[in-house]
Amino acid sequence: MRDFTYRRAASLQEAHDLAAHPGAMLLAGGTTLLDLAKCGVTEPETVVDIGHLGGMDGIEANEEGATIGALARMSHVADHAGIRGYFPAVSESLWQAASAQLRNMATIGGNLMQRTRCPYFRDAATYPACNKREPGSGCAAIGGVTRNHAVLGTSDSCIATYPGDLAIALVALDATVHLGAREIAAEDFFLLPGDTPHREHPMETAEIITAVTIPGSAIARRSTYLKVRDRQSYEFAAASAAIGLELEPDGKTIRDLRVALGGVATRPWRARAVEEALKGQALTPETVREASLLAVEGAVARGDNHYKIELAPRVVARAILKLGESA
Amino acid sequence: MTNRMQVNLDINGQVETLEIEPRVTLLDALREHLGLTGTKKGCDQGQCGACTVLMDGERVLACLTLAAQAEGRKITTIEGLSAPGGAPHPVQAAFLEQDGFQCGYCTPGQIMSAVACIQEGHAGSDDEIREYMSGNLCRCGAYPHIVAAVRQAAEAMS
Residue A174's closest CA among A322, A14, A65? Answer: A65
Tell me if ipTM is over 0.85. Answer: yes
Residue A117 has pLDDT above 80, yes or no: yes
Q: What percent of chain A has pLDDT over 90?
A: 99
Question: What is the structure's pLDDT at B83?
Answer: 86
Which of B3, B131, B135 lies at the smallest CB-CB distance from A101? B135
Tens digit of each residue's pLDDT (9 = 90 or more) over A278-310: 999 999 999 999 999 999 999 999 999 999 999
Q: Return d(Cα A314, Cα A288) in angstroms, integer.
A: 10
Residue B71 has pLDDT above 70, yes or no: yes
Residue partners of B9: CB distance under 8 A and separation at least 6 = B15, B16, B17, B18, B26, B29, B34, B67, B70, B71, B75
Q: Return d(Cα A281, Cα A278) in angstroms, integer.
A: 5
Tens digit of each residue's pLDDT (9 = 90 or more) over A201-214: 999 999 999 999 99
Interface list for chain A against chain B, based on CB atoms closer than 8 Å: 1-6, 8, 27, 30-31, 34-35, 37-39, 47, 49, 51-52, 75, 98-102, 104-105, 232-234
Q: Do B3 and A5 count as a contact with CB atoms less than 8 A apart? A: yes
Tens digit of each residue's pLDDT (9 = 90 or more) over A188-238: 999 999 999 999 999 999 999 999 999 999 999 999 999 999 999 999 999
With beta carbons less than 8 A apart as the criterion, state whether A255 and A275 touch: no
With beta carbons less than 8 A apart as the criterion, state whether A317 and A289 touch: yes
Question: What is the structure's pLDDT at A113?
Answer: 98
pTM above 0.95, yes or no: yes
Residue A11 has pLDDT above 80, yes or no: yes
Instruction: Please report the number of interchain residue pairs, chain A to chain B, with beta-carbon separation below 8 angstroms.
Output: 85
Q: What are the angstrom distances between the C-alpha of B111 and each of A100, A311, B3, B98, B119? A: 14, 37, 35, 13, 12
In this prediction, residue A327 has a pLDDT band, given cuts at 50, 70 and 90, of low
Considering only CB atoms, which chain B residues are within 8 Å of A35?
45-46, 64
Q: Minimal Cα distance from B53: which residue of A?
A: A101
Question: What is the structure's pLDDT at A190?
Answer: 98
With beta carbons less than 8 A apart as the criterion, state whether A242 and A258 touch: yes
Residue A94's closest CA among A166, A145, A43? Answer: A166
Q: Is B127 on the interface with A (CB under 8 A)?
A: no
Q: Do B133 and A38 count as a contact with CB atoms less than 8 A apart? A: no
For the segment B86-94, the average pLDDT, to the nearest whole number, is: 96
Which of B3, B66, B117 lies at the smallest CB-CB distance from A100? B117
Q: Do A31 and B64 count as a contact with CB atoms less than 8 A apart? A: yes
User: Half-sphere exposure (CA, 13 Å, Cβ side) for A149?
Assistant: 27
